[in-house]
Chain A
Amino acid sequence: MKTIKTRLGSLLLIGAACLLGHVPAFAGAAAHQIDMEIDDQPGYTPSPEEENLVGPYERQIVFFRTTEQPGTIVVHTADRYLYLVQPNNRAIRYGIGVGRDGFQWAGIKNIIRKQEWPDWRPPPEMIQRQPYLPRFMAGGPGNPMGARALYIGGTVYRIHGTNQPQTIGHAVSSGCFRLVNGDVIDLYGRVPVGTKIVVKQAADPE
C-alpha cells in the first residue's frame, strides 16, 4: 500500500457536499490503494503545468463498449474515470476525483442545472471547526468548486472543477465528481441540461 499524506496547512472552505477530509482512496488506474489526507486550498490557483494531466487521467478518446446512447455520461468510480459516450463504441474519457470511502454512490440520474464559476458554501461541520470562515464564497479562480458545475438531479452531488489537480485519481470528496478545470470546461461545453448520467462502481463484466 502506498500512502500519500499531503497536509496543506490552511484550509478553508470546501464545497458543500463535496469537499475533502482525510480519506482512504482507491486509485483504480494505479491498481493500488492510496490514502490521501488533504485539505482544501481556497484561493489557490494551480499553474497550467499542474492542470495539465498526463498519463491515464489525461482527457482522451478511448474505445468504450456500452448500450448507453451517445451523449450519456458514465462514471466508473473505482477506476476514477468519467466517460462521455460517443458514436461507434468510443467515449471521451476524463480523469476524476471521487467520493471517499463511505461517500460513494451509484445510480441513474440527469443533469438538471449548469453553472459557470459556482459559489462555495462550507458545510456546517467545517464552520464548527473553523468559525471564522465565510459562510459563502463567491465563485471565481481559486474557488474549491472550480470553473464549472453540473448539478445531478435528485442528489446533493455535482460534477465540478477543482483548484487541486493533484486530487484527480483519488477518493477525496463527499460524493461529488471533480475534474481539472480544463476538463470540466470541456465537458460543460459538450453536455446540455437533461443529460443522462450513469454512476457505477466499475465497468460491467464482459
Chain B
Amino acid sequence: MRSSGLLRISAAFSVIGLVAGLAGCNSNQQTDAGAAVGVPSLPSTISADSLVGKWGVAAYHRDSDRPRTEGEARRQCNNPYVISKGPNGGVMMHLADQSKPQELVTKASASGVNYLGPAGPAATPDDREIVAISDKTFTVKWVSPDNANRYGTMVYIRCP
C-alpha cells in the first residue's frame, strides 16, 4: 500500500515537472544521457521484483565482447550478486563505489527509457539505464560517464 501511494505521489510530481518544463518552452531539448540532474521520472514498465534473485555479473566495454561476457557472467554463479527486495517496494543494491546496499527503484523518463537508481528524477548520475531485460538476464549502463568508463556495460545472468 505504502509503495503504491509513493508511486502515485511520484507520478504526480513527475507530471507537474513535465508540465512545468513544457510551460517554460525550453528550447534546449534535454536528453536522458546528457541530463546532469536527471529528468522527471515516471513509473517504469519494469517491475523491481523482476530483479530480485541471484545473478552472475560480468562487464564489457566493446560490443564485440558481449557474447563471451554473457558466457562469463553465467559462469560467475558460484559467486553471485544477490539482489533482495527492499522495504518500500524497491530492491537492495549497491550504487557505484558504495560499500553498503541501499534501496533502489525502477523508474522511467518521459521518453520511455528505464532506469535503476535512487527514488527521484530519472537519468541522474547515480542511475543505471536498463538497456535490456528478460526473465533470465538484464543489462545496465551507468549514466555517469565516469562510472560507465570504469564499470562498462554490466550483464546480469540469473543463477539457477
CB within 8 Å of B: which residues of A? 9-12, 41-45, 119, 124, 127, 129-143
Chain A residues near B40 (CB-CB < 8 A): none
Give the A-binding residues of B (Cβ under 8 A). Answer: 56-62, 65, 68-69, 72-73, 75-76, 79, 81, 93-99, 146, 148-152, 154
Complex CA–CA separation, A11 to B146 (angstroms): 12
Which residues of A have CB within 8 Å of B79? 124, 127, 135
Residue in A44, A45, A133 with the greatest tally of chain B CB atoms within 10 Å? A133
Residues of B within 8 A of A12 (CB): 150-151
Taking a contact as CB atoms closer than 8 A, the residue among B61, B73, B93, B151 that contacts A136 in the complex is: B73
Cβ–Cβ contact A44 & B94, under 8 A: no
Measured CA separation A134–B151 after assembly (Å): 8
**Closest partner residue, chain A, to B78 (CB atom):** A135
Closest B residue by C-beta to A128: B79
* CB neighbours of B69 from chain A (8 A): 136, 138
- Chain A minimum-CB-distance residue to B56: A135
Within the complex, what minimum Cβ distance (angstroms) separates A179 from chain B? Answer: 21
B150 CB, min distance to chain A CBs, angstroms: 3
User: Could you count the A-B residue pairs with CB atoms below 8 Å apart for me: how many are there?
Assistant: 83
Partner of B99, one of A42, A130, A135, A140: A130
Docked pose: A11 CA to B99 CA in angstroms: 12
Known: A43-B151, A44-B150, A127-B79. A137 touches B59 (CB 8 A): yes
Residues of B contacting A9 with CB < 8 Å? Answer: 97
Q: How far is the CA of A135 from the CA of B69 in the complex (A)?
A: 10
Q: Is the CB of A134 within 8 A of B61?
A: no
5 examples of A-B residue contacts, CB within 8 angstroms: A42-B150, A132-B98, A136-B69, A138-B61, A138-B72
Other-chain residue from A130, A131, A132, A134 in contact with B152 (beta carbon distance below 8 A): A134
Contact of A142 with B94 in the complex, beta carbons under 8 Å: no
3 nearest CB pairs, A to B? A43-B150, A132-B94, A138-B65
C-alpha spacing A142/B153, complex, angstroms? 14
Partner of A41, one of B75, B93, B96, B150: B150
